Structure 1
Amino acid sequence: MDFLKSAVASAIAKGSSFPFSLGDRVDIGDSIWTLHNGTKRDDGSACSVFTFDTVANKSRLPLAKNAVRKSRTLRHPGVIKVLDTIENETNLYIVTERVVPLLWQVKRRSLSEETAKWGIYTVSSTLKFVNEDASSVHGAVRASSVYTSESGEWKLGGFDILSSMKEDDAIIYTYGSIVPDAARYTPPEVAKGGYEIIKRHPLAAVDAYGLGVLIFEVFNGQFLGGDQIGKTTNIPSSMHQSYKRLCTANPKLRLSPAHFVEQGKKHGGFFRTPLIRLTEDIESLGLKTDTEREEFINELDNLSDDFPEDFFKMKVLPELLKSVEFGGGGPKVLGATLKIGSKLSADEFNAKLTPVVVRLFGNPDRALRVCLLDNLPLMIDNLPQRVVNDKIFPQMTSGFTDVAPVVREQTVKAVLTVINKLSDRVVNGELLKFLARTANDEQPGIRTNTTICLGRIAKNLGQGTRSKVLIAAFSRAIRDPFVHGRNAGLLALGATIDVFTEEDCAVRILPAICPALMDKEKLVRDQANKTLDLYLQRVRKVASTMADTVLPPTAPAEAEPSKPDTRSGTSNDTSWAGWAISSFTNKIASADGEIEPTTATPATKPVEPDTTRSASVPRPTKSSPSAQLDLPKQTLRPIAQPLGRSLSDRPAPTVYEPPEEEEGDDVFDAWGAMDEDEDDSNGVDPFTAAVASPKPTSPDPPTTKAAATPYDDGGEPDFAGWLAAKNQAKGKGTLPKGLGKSASTNTATKAPVKPRVVPAPVKKIDTKPKDEDEDDGWGDAWD
């Protein structure tokens, strides 16, 4: 039957003339009304619709009509706000703000003590208005007559028998007893003498008793009858005395709702709670002084999380936003605003807070900016990515260069919060430029925080700039004079080891870590050892998987009989210099035979001029016995000896001693040439190229006369000619200094050239230290 009534009411409500649409039905217990969730047709806003079937409940029609009339005329913040009333032949409608029955929370016992006190205070204040200002009696105060609005505030309803005591024919006298479940809630004096007895007792006596019943239901869940009234079970101890006076059997001794509020508002009273003070002060926040505003915010900070969130969203938040933007609320009010805003849904946040936050980031007040940055983690999840990237971050960038260190530091810390909402272009472009500035900040704490920030956003950087930027930043941090800055650089390297290649680990990072092993602070030394171990393990792991050599395989040489070699530095020598001596020894041991002299004639014949001899070798004077004896001193090239001789049968090697005046020039010119041609276009310095070349060159001979025959080097590699060709191919016209051919021969045409008559002066070495400005460039890679 109830379903049929609801269906009929809904069908009527769907008519074109009805300005509201009915939704789901809401259970409100024993009542003459049926409650539906509704929607206004004009703007789609939520509302509630109380419907009364005039056909099925004719006997209670006077109660419904009285409720409609009183709802239109009674206006108070603690009373349900009525939007419209509609009456037709079959139904009565009272359209109100969206409300929910308090009875739901009472049955679930889900109300906290502070919220319960706040609600009871609201109902008591409303009853004070009804009794004293309106000179009326509600007559049906109970949990089923109270509702909660969208803001969480308690609203008084149930005006079925609300009557003015100035009227002689008040409806409460005649129809008070037909209210649903009236017997359970009727005061004892009314139960004995009827509602007419109200005239002989204080006006507020009936409502005071009903207020006591409401308090019992709020803290205990359900009121079963008069036997429970006055019991203090679960009721806060601070309310016991006043609560008992509300429930006393003698109506003349009852504490009126007005006096109940007064008792609770005394110093130390049960209504002296932060939530109640907040509700009283919030509407006048913009008119308060700075001191009063600060006290209000302190009260707001003391509120716990179990207070009604809806009230803060609907009532407190709008007033706080007004105070921040227009009332000079400052950072403290902003902090409270953002704390409440963190409990909003994404849609609510975007509608109420996002526009305000964007405007506040453009405010030049430094204290306000620091507060915004501190509370950014509370609201970043609700801010859209486009808003952060296009509107908020461009305003934030001014903080990187602010003159106040605290603003710069908080801006660096805020990067971690907004990094996931920034585009790759902003991260790898504008952001890195600003972090490069703070990495060189005069404040050591800001430099350290920048290093930490880079380590934590490493994975957000682009692959093209990641390793270059991080290695440069962390290497600089390791050399920071601030001990925690150096430690942060080492920690960041250890945390970002996965983003570097093995080559970077071995070539660039390990050399940067090593100086920290000898740091003056043990904290840095210990961390340097830990970081070094991490990178060594990675490099060694990769090196173990590499091939033994990249050289092409060669044909196997013929097996030779093993010969014992007693020289020091053999292949079995494990000393630090063994490899060099061993290599030299093995080469000698594998060369058999004798080195032939440059002359092919026997010793008994006179020595003829050798036309094929190198032009750098001095010519002998005569082929005489004395010349034969002096041969080892004047022969440039040693005599080739037959292979297969033992070491003891080999003749002593000939030694060529060049003229003293040429030695200094050749030696220093060669080192100077390497220094001058250090930066080769192919990235290989002349020293490395010379070592790797298979054609070593010979020093310039002290020639005093041009050779009459074409130059023959006797098989020596023409390194100078090779280098000249190489330089010509690269566009270099001349050979590096110190590596040129002798002036006595032109290797390109092998034609005699004009001999050098005057030797070059000996190059002097300037041992004076260079000025700091004359940097040779070798240290650039470490800076």
Structure 2
Amino acid sequence: MDFLKSAIGSAIAKGGGLPFSLGEKVDFGDSIWALHNGTKRDDGSACSVFVFNIDTHRSRLPLAKNAMHKSRTLRHPGVIKVLDTIENEHTLYIITERVAPLSWPVKRRSLNEETAKWGLHTVANTLKFVNNDAQSVHGAVRASSVFISESGEWKLGGFDILSSMKEEDAIIYTYGSVVPDSGRYTPPEVVKGGWDTIKRNPLTAVDSYGLAILIFEVFNGNFSGGDQVGRTTNIPPSMQQSYKRLCTANPKLRLSAGHFVEQGKKHGGFFQTPLIRMTEDIDSLGLKSDAEREQFINELDDLPEEFPEAFFKMKVLPELLKSVEFGGGGPKVLSATLKIGVKLSPDEFNAKMTPVIVRLFGNPDRALRVCLLDNLPLMIDSLPQKVVNDKIFPQMTSGFTDVAPVVREQTVKAIIPIITKLNDRITNGELLKFLARTANDEQPGIRTNTTICLGRIAKNLGQSTRSKVLIAAFTRSIRDPFEHARAAGLLALAATIDLFTEDDCAGKILPAICPSLLDKEKLIRDQANKTFDVYVKRIRKSAATMPDTVIPLHARAEPPSRPGPQAETPGDHSWAGWAISSFTNKIATTSGPIEPTNSGKPTDPETVRPASAPRPTQSSPPVELHKQALRPTAQPLNRSHSDRPPGAYHDESEEEEDDVFDAWGAMDDDETETDPFTDAVESQQISSPALSSRKAPQKPYDDGDELDFAGWLAAKSQTKGNKPLPKGLTKAKSTNTVTTRSTATTAKPRTVVVPKKIDTKPKEEVDDDWGDAWD
């Protein structure tokens, strides 16, 4: 039976069957306890475990049992929170909240003055409770008895000899000297008269002396002995006088911990710090008025960065979230909440902040919505992508159509930080539709910010929608009446040049930029020149890599015998001679009958006669035929489907544009003016009776790219009363035949007979007004 008990005790001592698992050991100085980091088995939360080995320290067992009992019964915010205690034959366990020894930062001297005052204020208040309310004496106040919780707060522990003065056999009287390293920290009156002198002196005297030693350790890092007590080295000047009164040699004159707090809380006292004031007000934040709440937030914003972040995460943040969601804290409290929330780890943020943020986006308060949108860059990295797409963005969309301009504008601005979290369906669908609305907003600032937003998110758009949407949006923006919107459009085009093809740059973007070169505002002109230069430079660079021609070698024409026309100075008229000589060369080589064009039918063979045959008696039809054949006809601009080249294939599916593109419109959808050139051609076609009854030939007397001067001069001579052509331009043969192309692409060449004109006037009479034919 003894063997079984020993085995069970040994297993329990090693951690078997305990509600926690022991982790690494934490060193915190001389103590009867060993401190371990632990984890609770039921929920996996972190904890600390104080372990006392009975077999090793049996002589100090009464101290361990006293600490276990006092820890369970003493409840105060400044005391370590005890979760459980376990006792067996070999070991005592005290399971507490996760804490770390204060001696670590004290030895490293890593505590700043504000944090040190805040911690000392907590310890002094706790000692005030122990002395005044619990009527007890701690007896071992020092740095090794103070711990730092996960929230950064200082917690009082080390209750080995904590005793109530109402007890006749208090443990402090018997075991006060058994505490490790008690010789350095014992008050001088106890050194002289023993622990029984506590009964003859004020109850607070021993702990006041220990508080003075703690102050010295916090600001100096180490305490070697009684000769250092009372020194003011590194202690803040405002605290030095009260500190000296804590450690005076006469116990009856010592300042109690309660009075020390009162001295520090006076106007301008050493405990009048923003951090201490915030700590006292945070618990009652939900009960404060709007003015008091605003004052609290102002103090919170004024806090420097070196204050303990853990305290804000564990204590301040939960209270702020309650105030925002249920206490009507408003945007200012929300802003302070988000500044603290961004310091959380991703897991902590998702657990504490994400659910609240999602609920706040559904709040109809516009002030809260604007505050959320303003602070979105701070928290977007911590928000999961699924939450953004499924919960936050659907709530944001109402801001695009809100009646308040500030909400619409902030919603547009918020797209830039959130774009990386949106999926492709939302980015290239819903988002572009909403931005198309704000691009036409009545507020010029919203239109400008929409253009800037599109420029910033251009790389996130899909390749199938990027070019169409951006070109339509930016070219429309540079026609905006608001000068800053035009400037934004030009800047956006310059910033996104790499996203467009060379064809788009030359055919769509550059023509849209050109009007801005003569904008009434110098700001726009300067930016237009910069953007124009960027695009021209890219186009020239691309053109330098293109081949000289794409015509195959076997399809190229014979090289001319002499150089072609060159650009000349305005005073040089050699181009006219080139045109006439080319035309006369063409006339000399033409042959074959000319086909009449007054009808679309082929010429009757009976109408064709040789040059020696007599002229028909009816002369009006040939004259009319001659006029119809020589009249130049304008090429119609609008061709039917039968006139289109066979290679131009038209896919009807291309006409079904996506709703996104319909929302943005075409690049020139704002221009409603009619092309005057098109109107002139259409009116000429309608007014001509000869053209209205038949289909016009495509290019009568077409000679490639050269002008048909012969046909034009002949027609002109008919309109001048049948005047002869100028000398040197008369036809040499009685009948010339010119081959023309038919209007239909599949028709064969047709010929027209040109009647010979006999000059019956005397040769000596020369018409000297031949130049009228050029009119």
TM range (shorter): 0.7 to 0.9
Q: Are 1:47 and 1:97, in contact at CA under 8 Å, matched by a contact in 2? A: yes
Q: Are 1:13 and 1:22, in contact at CA under 8 Å, matched by a contact in 2? A: no
Shift of 1:187: 1.4
Q: 2:637 aligns with which of 648, 664, 674?
A: 674
**TM-score w.r.t. length of structure 2:** 0.79
CA separation in 1, counterparts of 2:306 and 2:511?
57
Q: Secondary structure at the match of 1:719?
A: coil
CA separation in 2, counterparts of 1:448 and 1:677?
43
2:237 is matched with which residue?
237
Q: Are 2:701 and 2:740, in contact at CA under 8 Å, matched by a contact in 1? A: no
Q: How does 1:375-524 map to 2 (within 5 A)?
A: 375-524=375-524
Q: Tell me if 1:103 matches 2:99.
A: no
2:254 is matched with which residue?
254
1:747 is matched with which residue?
none
Shift of 1:66: 1.2
1:368 is matched with which residue?
368
Q: Are 2:593 and 2:739, in contact at CA under 8 Å, matched by a contact in 1? A: no
Shift of 1:391: 1.0
Q: Secondary structure at the match of 2:47?
A: strand
CA separation in 1, counterparts of 2:522 and 2:45?
67
Q: Tell me if 1:587 matches 2:550.
A: no
Q: 1:356 to 1:597 in 2, by over 3 A?
A: closer
Stretch deviating more after TM superposition (277-286 or 440-449): 277-286
Q: 1:573 aligns with which of 568, 583, 587?
A: 568
Q: Secondary structure at the match of 1:344?
A: coil
**TM-score w.r.t. length of structure 1:** 0.78
Q: Secondary structure at the match of 1:227?
A: helix
Q: Tell me if 1:716 matches 2:738.
A: yes
Q: 1:440 to 1:572 in 2, by over 3 A?
A: closer
Q: How does 1:55-204 map to 2 (within 5 A)?
A: 55-204=55-204
Stretch deviating more after TM superposition (84-93 or 455-464): 84-93
1:521 aligned partner, one-letter code: E
Q: 1:144 to 1:288 in 2, by over 3 A?
A: same
CA separation in 2, counterparts of 1:447 and 1:233?
64
Q: Secondary structure at the match of 2:158?
A: coil
Q: Are 1:451 and 1:489, in contact at CA under 8 Å, matched by a contact in 2? A: yes
1:606 is matched with which residue?
none
Q: 1:519 to 1:741 in 2, by over 3 A?
A: farther
CA separation in 2, counterparts of 1:273 and 1:220?
21
Q: Secondary structure at the match of 1:94?
A: strand
- The C-alpha deviation readout for 1:327-374, integer Å capped at 9, x for no partner, is 111111111111111000000001111111111111111000001001
Q: Are 1:13 and 1:21, in contact at CA under 8 Å, matched by a contact in 2? A: no
Q: 1:723 to 1:310 in 2, by over 3 A?
A: same
Q: Secondary structure at the match of 2:637?
A: helix
Q: Secondary structure at the match of 2:228?
A: coil
1:643 is matched with which residue?
none
2:336 aligned partner, one-letter code: A
Q: Are 1:139 and 1:162, in contact at CA under 8 Å, matched by a contact in 2? A: yes
CA separation in 1, counterparts of 2:295 and 2:222?
39
2:637 aligned partner, one-letter code: M
Q: Secondary structure at the match of 2:547?
A: coil
1:548 aligned partner, one-letter code: D
1:584 aligned partner, one-letter code: A
- The C-alpha deviation readout for 1:231-283, integer Å capped at 9, x for no partner, is 22222222111111112222222111000100111111111111111111111
- The C-alpha deviation readout for 1:410-457, integer Å capped at 9, x for no partner, is 100100011010111110000000000011111111111100110111
- The C-alpha deviation readout for 1:101-135, integer Å capped at 9, x for no partner, is 01111111111211111110000000000000011
Q: 1:585 to 1:41 in 2, by over 3 A?
A: same
CA separation in 1, counterparts of 2:486 and 2:16?
76
CA separation in 2, counterparts of 1:292 and 1:273?
17
Identity %: 68
CA separation in 1, counterparts of 2:379 and 2:238?
39
Q: 1:365 to 1:595 in 2, by over 3 A?
A: closer
CA separation in 1, counterparts of 2:342 and 2:592?
97
Q: How does 1:604-615 map to 2 (within 5 A)?
A: none
Q: Are 1:570 and 1:581, in contact at CA under 8 Å, matched by a contact in 2? A: no
1:207 is matched with which residue?
207
- The C-alpha deviation readout for 1:125-153, integer Å capped at 9, x for no partner, is 00000000011111110000000111111
- The C-alpha deviation readout for 1:156-195, integer Å capped at 9, x for no partner, is 0001111111222221111111211111111122222221
Q: Are 2:151 and 2:312, in contact at CA under 8 Å, matched by a contact in 1? A: yes
2:773 is matched with which residue?
none
1:755 is matched with which residue?
none
Q: 1:503 to 1:579 in 2, by over 3 A?
A: farther
Q: Are 2:36 and 2:49, in contact at CA under 8 Å, matched by a contact in 1? A: yes
Q: 1:325 to 1:558 in 2, by over 3 A?
A: closer
1:332 is matched with which residue?
332
- The C-alpha deviation readout for 1:47-90, integer Å capped at 9, x for no partner, is 11111111221221111111111111111110011111221111
CA separation in 2, counterparts of 1:344 and 1:615?
105
Shift of 1:596: 8.8
Q: Are 1:478 and 1:485, in contact at CA under 8 Å, matched by a contact in 2? A: yes
Q: Are 2:24 and 2:37, in contact at CA under 8 Å, matched by a contact in 1? A: yes
1:41 is matched with which residue?
41
CA separation in 1, counterparts of 2:78 and 2:380?
36
CA separation in 2, counterparts of 1:676 and 1:277?
84
Q: Secondary structure at the match of 2:196?
A: helix
Stretch deviating more after TM superposition (687-696 or 176-185): 687-696
2:657 is matched with which residue?
none
CA separation in 2, counterparts of 1:454 and 1:253?
75
CA separation in 2, counterparts of 1:331 and 1:579?
80
Q: 1:692 to 1:271 in 2, by over 3 A?
A: farther
Shift of 1:725: 5.3
CA separation in 2, counterparts of 1:37 and 1:127?
26
1:316 aligned partner, one-letter code: V
CA separation in 2, counterparts of 1:233 and 1:679?
103
Shift of 1:552: 2.8
Q: 1:597 to 1:332 in 2, by over 3 A?
A: closer
Q: 1:171 to 1:519 in 2, by over 3 A?
A: same
Stretch deviating more after TM superposition (9-18 or 212-221): 9-18
CA separation in 2, counterparts of 1:232 and 1:80?
30
- The C-alpha deviation readout for 1:584-616, integer Å capped at 9, x for no partner, is 2562586696989999xxxxxxxxxx9775899
Q: 1:208 to 1:551 in 2, by over 3 A?
A: same
- The C-alpha deviation readout for 1:21-70, integer Å capped at 9, x for no partner, is 21111101100111111122222221111111112212211111111111
Q: 5+ unaligned residues in a row in structure 1: which ranges?
A: 1-6, 600-609, 628-633, 637-655, 703-712, 727-739, 745-783
Q: 1:363 to 1:576 in 2, by over 3 A?
A: farther
CA separation in 2, counterparts of 1:558 and 1:537?
35
Q: Secondary structure at the match of 1:417?
A: helix
Q: 5+ unaligned residues in a row in structure 2: which ranges?
A: 1-6, 595-604, 650-677, 682-695, 719-734, 755-775
1:649 is matched with which residue?
none
CA separation in 2, counterparts of 1:347 and 1:692?
83
Q: Secondary structure at the match of 1:147?
A: strand
2:544 is matched with which residue?
544
CA separation in 2, counterparts of 1:315 and 1:423?
36
Shift of 1:8: 12
Q: Are 1:14 and 1:21, in contact at CA under 8 Å, matched by a contact in 2? A: no
2:343 aligned partner, one-letter code: K
2:757 is matched with which residue?
none
Q: Secondary structure at the match of 2:189?
A: helix
